[in-house]
Amino acid sequence: MGRIIPIEKVRNIGFMAHIDAGKTTTTERILYYTGMSYRMGEVDDGTATMDFMEQERERGITITSAATTCFWRGYRINIIDTPGHVDFTIEVERALRVLDGAIAIFCAVGGVEPQSETVWRQADKYKIPRLAFINKMDRVGADFEGCIEMMIDRLKANPVIIQMPLGTEDSFHGIIDLIKMKAIVYDEDTFGARYSYIPIPEEFLKKSQAYRQRMIEKLADFDEEIMEAYIGEKEINEQQICLALRRATLSFSLVPVLCGAAFKNKGIQQLLDAVVDYLPSPIDIPPVKGKNPNGEEEVRPASDDAPLAALVFKIMTDPYVGHLSFLRIYSGSLTTGTSVLNAGKGIKEKIGKLFKMHANKREEISEVYAGDIVAAVGLRRATTGDTLCDERAPIILETMEVPEPVISVAIEPKTQEDQEKLGNALRKIALEDPSFKVAYNEETSQTIISGMGELHLEVIVDRLFREFKVKANIGRPEVAYRETITLKVKSEGRFIKQTGGRGQYGHVWLELSPLSRGMGFNFIDATSGGVIPKEYIGAIEKGIRDAMEKGVVAGYPVIDVEVKLIDGSYHEVDSSDVAFSIAASMAFKEGMKKAKPIILEPIMCLEAIVPDAYLGEVMGDITARRGKIIGIEPRKNVQIIKAYVPLSEMFGYATKLRSTTQGRATYSMHFSHYEPLPTKLAETLTARKTIH
C-alpha cells in the first residue's frame, strides 16, 4: 500500500506538566479542532476522551498515558497525553523515551510546580526539543511574566516569547502573535473554532513591540542569518523568524513560549501550528542507537528501507483484544502477520493485528512505517523495553530506567477462588506497569505489592476490586526501607562440599566498602594471576547480588555498597559456578555483619502551597513529622514550603493538611533520597521484624 504521509510530515509529541496544569483539556481541544472528535470532553465532567479509565474519571486526573493521532495542515501528529501525578512517573518516562518532541504546559497561576521540574529533567535526559504553553491565562492570579521567570530560575531554561496574552484574568480574550505582529481573537459561538487576526490594540502595542525586539535579539544570539539581518538593520520577515526558531528549538538552544486558555478554547490552533513549525519529525532527530549481538554499537536511520527496529514502550490489557503492545517504529516497516525477532529474549514473535490508537478505541491498519507509534496484538512474550527487529539484522535498543518502589502493602485474598484471581490480576498489572512490584513473603504467607506512592497503590487496589473482581483484605502501607554498611571490611567465603562423586569447591575474599547515597552497587574484579578463573567471576557477582536482596539487620535489600573481589582459590575438578556463587554469598553476608550495617529510610521532597494564615501550623506539623524545612518562597497570598520528610511519617498527610487549612492548601511529594533511620526507630523496626 505504501506510506500516505511522508516521514518529514510526522510529529511524535507528548504533553508533560504538573497535575492539573491542563494537559488533558488541551488534548481534548486539539482532537476537536482537528476533527478527531465531535464534542469537547471535559476532565471535571468525567467525559474526557483521553481519560478513559473509571479511576481517572472519578478522580479527575490522568493515571495512564494515552496515545492518539490527529491531522493538521497535512501533517500527522501522534500525541501521548501523560499523567501529571508523581506516583505515575513511569508513564511519563516511557512516553518521553519514544517521543521526538514535547509540549510543557504550565498553569499561569501555579507556574513551574514540582512535577513540572521532574518531567523537564526527564525531557533533558532524553534530549527532547520542546515548546512551552502557559495555560489558564483567564484564571484569577494568572502571571505570564512570573511563569517565564520561574522557567529561567527553576528549570534553567532559555525561553523565547513568541506570543503574549491579550489581557489577563477576566479580561483575557485572545493572544498577540509576535511573529505576525497581529492580535488573535476567538469566536465564542463556534467554541473557538473560528478566529480572526486584528491589529494590536493601542494599549498593548508598546509592550508587544518590546517583546518582539527581545525575541529577535534572542534569535540573533543563536542564528547567523538573523544576526546578520539584525546588525545590518534589515527587515526580518516571518519566514526567516520561523526557520530560525525551528533551528534553535531543534538544537535545544531556545524554548518557544506560547500562551492561551484551553478550557476557554483560546490558543490551541496556534499551538498546533507551532508543533508543525518548530518540533522535529523523526528524520530531524539523531538515528536511534543500539547494540548488535556482538555488543558493537549500531545506528538505525529513520527510513522505511532500513531494517526493522521497534521498541515496546507500554503494555496494556484490553478487554476485547487482550494483550496490546505499544510500539515506536524507529526504522523499517511492519505488516500484519509478519514474524519479528524479540532481540533481548532471543525469540520470534508474530504480529497478529496492528492498530492506530485513539485513547481506548482502535483503528485496525495493515502496515506501519518508520516514525509511527502504534499498538500490536499477538506479542505474547513482549514486555516493556523489549526491542523488536528484523531477524537478519538483530539489534537491542537502549531500554528505559524504571524507578524503585518506595511503599508496600500486604494483600490477602478472602477465598481460595480469589487466590487464583489475585495471582492472574497481579501478573497482568505488573506486566502493564514496570514500577509496580509483587513479592511473596514466606514468613508471613502474605503477598506484598509495592508502588510509587499511596495513590499508585490505591488505584491498583481499586482496579483489583472492580476490573478483576478480586475480593481481598489490604494491610497497612509499609515503607520500602533499605540497608547499607558504614565500614570498609574484608571477608572470606569458603564453600567446600565433598560427596561420593565430584565435590564442590569455591573460595573468595571480598572487600566491602560503603558508597555515597544513591550510588547503588558496584562490583570490581581486582584479582590477578588467575587465582580465580574468569569464567567464575559472573557467578561470584550473581552470588553477591542474591545476598544483597536480604540484608542482615532486618532483611531489607542492601544498597550503596562497593564489593571488590581481591583473592580466592579454586579446584581444577570440583569448582563450579554454583560453588563460587554460594561462597560469594557467604562472604558478603559475613562481611556485612562486620561492617556496622544500618537501616536507611526513604526521604520524600515535599512542596506545600499554603495560605499565609496557616503557615505556622503547617510548618509545625512538618517538623513534628521529622521533616527538615529547606525553604519558604512567598507568592501571591500563599507561601510555598519545601521540605524533606521521611515517607513513614507521611501517611494520612492529605487529610491532616485539609483539616488544618480548611481545604485551602495543596501539596505534592516525590521520592528524593535515602537517609539513615534514627537508632531508636531502627531498633523498634528490627524488633518488630523479629517478632513477625
For residue 549, give the C-alpha cell.
536482596
Nearest to residue 84, comparing CAs of 19, 178, 10, 167? Answer: 19
pLDDT score for 46: 46
Residue with cell 506560547: 258
Report the distance separating Cα 576 and Cα 504, nearest Å. 7
3-class SS of residue 159 = strand
Residue with cell 514535547: 102
175 strand-pairing partners: 165, 184
Give 299-359 as a 3 state SS string. Answer: EECCCCCCCCEEEEEEEEEECCCEEEEEEEEEECEEECCCEEEECCCCEEEECCEEEEEEC
For residue 40, give the C-alpha cell.
469537547
At 506-515, the pLDDT tens digits run: 999 999 999 9
Distances (CA, A) of 672 to 360, 597, 646, 647: 34, 22, 10, 10
At 645-678, the pLDDT tens digits run: 998 998 888 778 888 888 778 787 778 899 999 9
For the chain, list residues with pLDDT below 70: 1-2, 38-65, 84-88, 359-360, 441-445, 499-501, 689-692
Report the distance separating Cα 349 and Cα 285, nearest Å. 29
Q: Are 174 and 185 in contact (CB under 8 A)?
A: yes
Which of 422-451 are b and which e, b meaning 16 or more Cβ less than 10 Å from the residue's Cβ? beebbebbbbbbbbbbeeeeeeeebbbbbb
pLDDT score for 278: 98
pLDDT score for 594: 96
Which of 333-370 are b and which e, b meaning 16 or more Cβ less than 10 Å from the residue's Cβ? bbebebebbbbbeeeebebebbbbbbbbebeeeebbbb
Handedness of CA 390, 391, 397, 403 (dihedral sign): positive
pLDDT score for 85: 60
Distances (CA, A) of 138 to 19, 169, 202, 550: 18, 4, 21, 54
